Each structure stands twice: as C-alpha cells, then as structure tokens.
Structure 1
Amino acid sequence: MKRLSKKRLTLAVVLVMTMIISACSAGNSNDEGTGSEAPLKVNIMTMYYTAEPPGPDNVVVQEFARKTNTELNITWVSPNSYGDKVNVTLASGDIPDLMLLDDPFTAQVRTMVQQGAFWDLTPFLKDYPNLMKFPEDSWTNTKQADGNNYGIPRVRPVEGGGFPYIRKDWLDKLGLAAPTTTDELYTVLKAFVEQDPDGNGKKDTIGYAGFVDQNGMAYFSTLVNAFTHTTGDWKEVDGKLVNVNLLPEMKEALQWLNRAYNEKLIPEDLAVLKNSQAKDMLKAGRAGGFQDTVEAAWEPTEELRKSDPNADFLPLVSLNGYVNKDSGFFGMFAIPKTVPEEKMKRLLELMDYGASDEGSDLASFGIKGTHYTEENGVKTVTEQAKKDIVAQQALGQVFIKYDKYLRAYRSGMPNDMLERNKKIIDEREKVSVPDPSTGLYSETNVTAGTELRKKIQDTKTKVILGKVPMSDWDDYVNKLKSDPDMLKITEEINASYAKRQEG
C-alpha cells in the first residue's frame, strides 16, 4: 500500500509540473504578454522611398510583428505609381486592412466615405494615447466633410517644412546678415552672383537654384508665399477665401522673379530644371540657395564639407514675417468597413504601438546595436541597416510617432547643427501660417482645376522669363476674375470653408 501511495504521489507531482510548464509555455508564447492568442493577420498597402522595398522576411518587419503578435503582409508600392494603385484598389473593392490614402480628399475617397466604405474612427481614437499625441492640426486637417476622421494621419511635423536656405559661409565672407525680407534676400543673392563668394576669381556662381514646373511655382513656391503671406493658393480676405493669383501681391512676386531672372540671380533654365540638377548645383558649390525642409540643408552641406569644412547652408526662419506651417500629415491610413469592429480596434492598437517611442524607433531605426548606435540621443545608422533596408523611408512610413523636431535631424549631422535647427523650428512656430484650404472640396476644381492651374502657371512662367510684358499678367488676371471655372471653384471652396467653420 505504501508503494502504491508513492506511485500515486509521483504521478500527481508529474501532472502538476506538466500543467505548470504548459501554463508557462502558453503565457510566454511571445515576450509581450499576448498569451496564446493567435497572431492577427494584417494586410497593409503603403509606399516606400528606399531603393527597394523590404521583403516579407525583413528582420525588422518580423521583429515588429513578433512584438505586436501580428502577421504583417505589406504591399509596397513605388511613390511614382502609388496614386494609380490607390485608384485601382479602391475601385476593386478588395481593400487591405490598413491602406495608405496618399490624398484623402480625392473625389473617389470622398464618395466612398459618404457611402460608408471606411470606419469612422472618431469615437474610438481617445482610447489610443500615442495616436492622441499627434498634433491637433493632423487630425483637423484630415477630417472629411462631415467633420469626422476616417483615417489615421501619416503624421508629419507642422514646422520645419520647405523654405529657403542659403550659404551662411558666403554671407559671413561678404559681411552680410541672414535676410529677413524678400528685399534683403534680393540684395544677398545679387552679392552671391557679383562678389565672388567662393573666391575662385570667376563670376560663376548663381544666387538661388529655384525652378518652376507646368503645374505651379514648385521650388519658388514659398518665396512667392512670402509676398502673398499665405500658404497655398487661397488667402482669407474679409472672411472669404480669395485665390492668390487675383491679388496684387502675386504681381509683386512675379516682378521680383522677373528682375532676378534678368540679373541672372536665378537659373536661366528654370522652366525645365529638375530637382536633381538643382541639387547638383548646390553640391558643386555653384548655387547659394534653395528651397527644402530644415534638415535637408544638411545634404549639400555634408557634400561640400568634404572639400570645404566651413561650408554651411542656413535654413531661414522667415521672410516678410512669413513662413509656411504644414498640414501635419502626408496621407492617412484608412480601415475598410469590411473589417470587423474587434479587428478594427486591434488595428488601432497596432498603429498606437507604432506611434510609441519603442514602436516608432523599431520601425525607423531597427534594432539597437545592430542597425544603429546612439550617443547623446542622436542615432547613427550602421551599414547593416542599409543591407536590411531599415529606414524611416520604409517601415517608418507606416509606423511613426509625432516628433516636433523630425525635420531637424539627418544621419551624420553634427550636434551643433541639430541644436541650431531645433531653434529655427521653435522660431518658425511663432509666425508660421497654415494653408486655409487644406481639405476643402470643389467639384469644379476636380474637373477643371488642373487645366486652369496649368494655364495660370504658363502665363507666370512667360512673365518671369520676359517672354511677355508684365501688362499681360494684368490682362490675364482681369480675365481670371470673370472666368467661369475660377468663379465656380471660388464659390465651392468658400461653401466648403463656411461649412468647416461652422463645425
């Protein structure tokens, strides 16, 4: 009997130990405490800016999936064809769980929102603290016509966007201060052209490497905005939005540019110049200024410092008391209504983790010690990160936290420049001006706006190049004031504006 009792006792102990081990195994199916719950399968469509997209076995994608207990199936699309891919996907009705809508305000998206094709996330967002850290502008500017949010903004800073930057070392050499007005900027650019700032004894430098395209003022846009004192094509005047092309300030901007063109302060081929060609001029030390984000000024600076350690492109704080305030988003991730409510909430959890410090750093920089090193809060990427396609331009386009100073830093930038950029962003915040037309809708603008903008820009380009006299611009503006499409667009934009004001 005693031996039998021992056997029973031994069996009982084995059974208890088995249950404990089993429970421990279930409780540690991953180290994030998700229990034995099966991984959530998530289909995502987004764009990438790296040379090639991460593959399904990408180490960081896999690590992100492990930490969130998900299976991430990501369809990566080149930004060059992303708009077309969105149109085709939406039309097919087979919409992924999380889909980046690069333009949340197309007629197609608006119609589908009205038809109930996407989840209205407004009632749920308050439960996701990291998403709630996004700036109010990000949420306000992605609201649809009914005042609700049907997507998670691909968040971007509202400060630090594209604006002129110029060669500070050239300013110092010529004894000039950083310009704060367009008149002062003109004086600086003229000196850059005429006073041999690079010291090579030749008159071979250009003031500002801006250019236009057929759709708009392109890399002269913020310079023009400094005259109109608004961001974009619309300005509030006496409570109504007026197209900036009808304002006298636009004529002043064109006169400034025409004069700069005649005095060879800006490129002779500004109507056909490409972005890469303009950047090549900067990196070759031939141009003294350009328009880009705050941190992008480091790109030509870094290249020039290989041969000139004093080279320095300085982002300007403002001109004429103006600097642009950005919208706080670059597209949004929508969730189709075909996704059940419980899964929708899990998707919001996933995006909330992606907006945390840990999730965002993992997506953008990868695994510490493998893909980046960190010193004094500054992350430096390794060669392994490049091999593994770990970058803000890849998975960091899906999962990203809000960082006011995102546009202050680029890899390899010295700390003194980072701190200077942060101060510039802080100063811009005091005077920055938003685009009042963000998210507003005009049906006529959808059907006729593109062609109208091309005609407007064609006239502007001819005026700048001196192919037609300035009086032609006056005549054209008078025609625009009675143009049926312009009148209808203005009426519809203002109706949309009034509705938003009421909301």
Structure 2
Amino acid sequence: MEKQKSKIKSYGKLLIPMTLSMSLLLSACSGSGSPSEASQPEGASGGSGERVTLKLEVFDRGNAPSGMTISNNYLTNYVQDNFGTPNNIDMEFYPVPRSEETAKLNILMASANDVPDIVFTYDSGTFYRYASQGGLTEVGELLDEYGPNLKAFLGEDALAYGQIDGEQLAIPGRRLVLGKYASYVRQDWLDKLGLPVPTTTEQLYDTLVAFKEQDPGETGGRVIPLGMSVAPAQLDSLLWSFVEPISDEERITRTQKLGSSDYPVLLPGYKEGLRFLNKLYHEGLISKDFALDEDKKLLWQDVQNGLVGAYSEDAGELLFEYNGTYKNLQANSPGAVMTPIDPYVNAEGLSAKPGYAPNAMFIMIPKSSKRAVEAIKYLDWMASEDHLFFMQNGVEGENYTLVDGIPVANADASQDIKDRLYNYGDMAIIVNGKYMGDDEKNAEAYIRQVPEVYHDMMRTSVEISDTNKSAPIIMPVPIEAESRYGSALRAKLNEIIVKLTMSSPDTFDTTYDSLMNEYMAGGGQAILDERTKVYEDMMK
C-alpha cells in the first residue's frame, strides 16, 4: 500500500498535519475506488449541484467554552470547511442534552419533520425498538457504495452489532478501551493512620470505619469515607462483586439488560450487595446525599474539596483535565495522594466487574431522512485520510507533540488551543477512544490523554479496569421486552437501590420483596421469560 499525501486544506491560519498511519490504514485498504475519490465525495444528491442540508445529532454536555456553542465551535467549523462546503452541503448540528438523550431522541424520532439525518444512542434497547418499528434506513448497500473507508475501519465484528435479520440498520461505533472501572483511596490518609492499601471488601470496610472515626483529613466531621452517587461508576464494582458463582444458563437468562448495560438484578447475591450498601449508609460511611447525585457532580465536588477517602469511578476519570478532579484536590488539600485500588472481591476471590462490548454507540439514519447517501459519505469522510486523527488531536506543535508516534497533549498550550477539542469525543462518533492503528498504541494514547505526571496512575487505573472484567452478554436475537421496558426498569432500579440503601435495616427484607415485586410486574418478568425462551431455543 502506498503512502499518500493528505488532501486536507489549510484550516484558518493552521495547516493540518499529515498523519500517514491513519491514511495508510483507513484509505488505501478500501479496495473500492481511489483514496482521493473516497475522501472527496460528490456533491449532494449524486452530483446534481443542489445545495442541501445534512442535520446531525450532537451531545450537549453543557460544557462549551466561552465563545463557542455545541453547534458552532472549532470542530463543527472544521467539518463544514473540509466536508460540507466542498460537497455543497450545509452541516447543521442539533444539540441533544446528554443526560436526556434517550427521552429526547424518542421525541425526535416521533417527529419525522424534525429528526436529524444522523442520530445515535448507546442504548441497544432503543436501537432494537426503532429497528422493529421500521424506523431506520437499511444501510448495507449504501456502505458498499459510499462507505469503503468506514467499513474497513469498523470491521465486520463491530458492524455485526448493528445487524438484525441480515439487515444493517445501525452503524456501531468502534470501542477501543473495553475496561470500565477502577477504585481509588486517599494514600496520604492511609499513611497517616498506618493502614495498608485495602485489597478486599472486608479490608476496605475496616479502612472506611477508620476514616470516619479518626478523620485523618481533618475535615471537621465532614469526612465521607466512601464517595457515592447513583451513577453506575460508583455502584457497579461493589454490587457485581456480591454475585455468587452461577451457571451459564443463569448468567444468560437472569441477567437484565437495561439500556446499554447488563445488570445483575436477579442474580444470586445481588440482594446482599444492596444489604451491604444499607449497612454502609446507616453507619455513615457513604455520601449522605448520594440519591440526589445522578451526574456525579456532587461527588466530584466532594473529592476535590478533600472530603472523600475512597470511591470508584470510570477508569482515570479523576485525571482528565476537563473536570480537574485530581488537580483541584491537590490544590485544595496539599499533600493529597490517591492510589488506584481494586478491592471488591467476590466469593471466588476475584475482583469481578463489568466491561464494555467492542461496539460503542449505535449510529442510525432514520427512515424519514432524505440524506442517507450524504450521511454515509460524511461518516466515510471521517474514516478517511487523517480527518479522524485531526478531530481527536488537533494541530501538531500546538495541541500535541508526537512521542513514539503517539500524540501527547501539550500541557503548556494556551486555554484557547485546549478548548478547540473540548468536544472531540462527541464529534468523532465512529470511535470511542483515541485511534492510533493497533491495540497497544490505542491503549497508550488513552493513557497519554492526561498530563504526563499522571501517566503511571492512569496506566494502573486502566489495568485495574481490565482485570477480571466480563463482557456484556450478546443475545442471538433482540429481546423485545428489553426494548419495551428497559428505560422504565432502569429508572425503577435506581429507585430500588436508593430505597433499599436508606431503608431501616429491620425492614430491609420486606422492602426488598415489595420493590422487586413491582420491578418484575413492570417488565422484569417479561425480560426473564423471553431470555429463558431464547436460551432454550439456543440449546435445541
């Protein structure tokens, strides 16, 4: 395969660098037309010359820097200048609040006149529901004709997650880092109390009690031994560790997929995990207001203010600059040190925890869209030449420096330069993680997203997230009941967790029975019955 020149034009006053590794893998391997043809698609509507609009969903996290909006920023302008304008297309970005994405998407999909041409969700149940209702464009032939680079980038394994009954009804993004969670403890508090790093659930409990009773952070009684919210990142590692050894049949039939994740609601031991949470709450060992904290912002604030002794989180989350958790902690509490730990162990002595599937979000083109060709061309453009690399990394010498072939963010870059890429993860929708060409470099690029001083800590966090992780269960056919009841049951599960955590210990069992009866009647039984039937069909 020949190396090719980047054909990307100058962007403003900046010259976009050539990234041969991206060109080599994503363009030259398509075997369908020349790379230049793939990266310079025809004008809209098959070259008719008519100027059209391509409307794209984009997550709004409420974090746009001053002078930018989610629909008008450095990367949206880059897309317009390098894909839209050369192809006679106006790119329109439609903001959807990240915290309301499923509900908002449901409203959009019900309104054929207002729905974007490209929408997406992490929720497999939502994807299956739209597919079963005939609301999605079948894109198999369009990918063959207009998406050779995209197909080569995603590969058959990832694309299979968007297929139902042989039809390609979604384009699954590619997920590069499959570990989810790590835990952390205040090392300086351990050192002050002469305690070892906890390596089991029992040791962690003893550590939490010591933090509460002795307040090594001198918080004046405001200490939060274990930071907690109702987000999965804080709950999953703890609750999954209580699941008892199970058969393959139990694992497949009794797991409940609610949205994009598996939950062990019906698995043996889950109830005891909730009982342990109840114990922690009533002993004052977890965040008192955890039930009000769905987006983790209260937790992050408490960590940064030096009140939290330990907590679980998305691997490396505290090290990223966008929320500055660790940086602010060390500024507010000089001498504060967090150590990554993996303490939640199950009955077999393993730190069992959930991981990700190799697919990321489901990218969909609604059936009502008249711009399916342009949509595929746009995604293919992103996968060609060095467009994806630029959207994720920016300008060499300004945003990053290449170290061993991996872009490392320039820590001394001005805030304006850093702000350029604040939303790169939500714009580069064909991949979750920074793509460098192979698994080793992908992992290293993920680690090097944080300042160099944190690289070792980040590497340990990622290793913990990969240890004893279990991949989500992929059923051979969509489970209709999960699509129908998943969103409501996910909300019900939060209610169950909160109420059981806060209930009086002497009424825990009766409260559990009552809430679980409601859960099963609200769709849990339907999911169990359908998964059992599918399993039985698999075994025939």
Residue 501 of structure 2 is aligned with which of 459, 464, 470? 464
User: Given the superposition, is the C-alpha separation of residues 45 and 374 from structure 1 closer, same or farther in structure 2, using an over 3 Å criterion?
Assistant: same
One-letter identity of the residue aligned with 1:264: G
- Letter aligned with residue 191 of structure 1: A
Give 1:279-290 correspondences, 5 Å limit: 279-290=300-311
**Deviation of 1:492 (Å):** 1.6
Change (3 A) 1:349 1:197: same
| Residues 1:383 and 2:393 aligned together | no
| 1:191 alignment partner in structure 2 | 210
Deviation of the 1:362 alpha carbon: 1.4
The answer (yes or no) to whether the contact 2:198–2:207 under 8 Å persists in 1 is: yes
Partner of 1:261: 281
Question: Is the aligned partner of 1:312 residue 2:337?
Answer: yes
Q: What residue in structure 1 maps to residue 354 of structure 2?
A: 324
CA distance in 1, matches of 2:205, 2:159: 38
Q: 1:130–1:179: structure 2 CA closer, same or farther, 3 Å change rule?
A: farther
Structure 2 unaligned runs (5+)?
1-6, 11-34, 45-51, 257-263, 436-441
Supply the AA of the counterpart residue of 1:327.
A
Corresponding position of 2:96: 78
In structure 2, the residue matched to 1:433 is 470
Task: Tell me which amino acid in the other structure corresponds to 2:207.
Answer: V
* Aligned residue runs from structure 1 range 112-151, under 5 A: 112-113=133-134, 117-120=137-140, 124=144, 128=148, 132=152, 134=154, 138-140=158-160, 142-146=161-165, 149-151=168-170
Q: Distance between the aligned counterparts of 1:386 and 1:130, measured in 2?
A: 28
CA distance in 2, matches of 1:168, 1:70: 57
**Aligned mates of 2:536, 2:417 — CA distance in 1:** 49
- What is residue 220 of structure 1 aligned with on the other side? 235
Q: Per-residue displacement from partner, 1:149-201 (whole Å, max 9, x unpaired)?
A: 43222333443424433323333433434333322221222222223322x38
Cross-structure match for 1:419: 456
Distance in 2 between the 1:490 and 1:342 partners?
A: 40
Q: Find the counterpart in structure 2 of residue 8 from structure 1.
A: none
One-letter amino acid matched to 1:374: T
Range moving further from structure 2, 72-81 or 436-445: 436-445
1:235/1:242 contact within 8 Å kept = no
* Identical amino acids, percent of aligned pairs: 20
**Equivalent residue runs for 1:44-443 within 5 Å:** 44-48=55-59, 49=61, 50-51=63-64, 52-55=69-72, 59-65=77-83, 71=89, 73-79=91-97, 80-93=99-112, 96-106=116-126, 108-113=129-134, 117-120=137-140, 124=144, 128=148, 132=152, 134=154, 138-140=158-160, 142-146=161-165, 149-198=168-217, 200=218, 202-212=220-230, 219-228=234-243, 236-237=249-250, 240-242=253-255, 244-273=264-293, 275-298=296-319, 299-308=324-333, 310-317=335-342, 319-320=344-345, 321=350, 322-335=352-365, 346-353=377-384, 358-370=386-398, 372-374=399-401, 376=403, 377-380=407-410, 382-385=414-417, 388=420, 391-397=423-429, 403=435, 404-405=442-443, 408-409=446-447, 413-436=450-473, 441-443=478-480
Deviations along 1:263-320, whole A, 9 cap, x unmatched? Answer: 2111223323452222111110001223321221223211022244542333434631
Give 2:56's aligned amino acid.
M
8 Å Cα contact 2:500-2:508 kept in structure 1:
yes
* TM-score of the aligned structures, taking structure 1 as reference length: 0.74
Larger radius of gyration: 1
Task: Provide closer, same or farther for how the CA distance between residues 408 and 196 of structure 1 changes in structure 2, counting only shifts above 3 A.
Answer: farther
- Pairs aligned (count): 460
Question: How far apart are the structure 1 equivalents of 2:154 and 2:253?
Answer: 29
Which of residues 531, 534, 540 is equivalent to 1:493? 531
Instruction: Determine the C-alpha separation between the residues in 1 that align with 2:156 and 2:205.
Output: 36
State the TM-score, normalized to the length of structure 2: 0.70
> In 2, Cα distance between the equivalents of 1:38 and 1:123?
15
CA RMSD of aligned residues (A): 4.3
Which range moves more in the overlay, 264-273 or 49-58? Answer: 49-58
Q: Cα deviation per residue 1:121-155 (whole Å; 9 max; x = unaligned)? A: 69849984665555887545x33442654322233
Deviation of 1:395 (Å): 2.7
Q: 1:36 to 1:138 in 2, by over 3 A?
A: closer
Alpha-carbon separation, structure 2, partners of 1:183 and 1:68:
62
Counterpart of 1:331, as a letter, is: M
Give the gaps of 5 or more residues in structure 1: 1-27
Over residues 394-429 of structure 1, what are the superposed CA-to-partner deviations in whole Å (9 max), with x where a residue is unaligned? 533467665443894476x43252234234424543
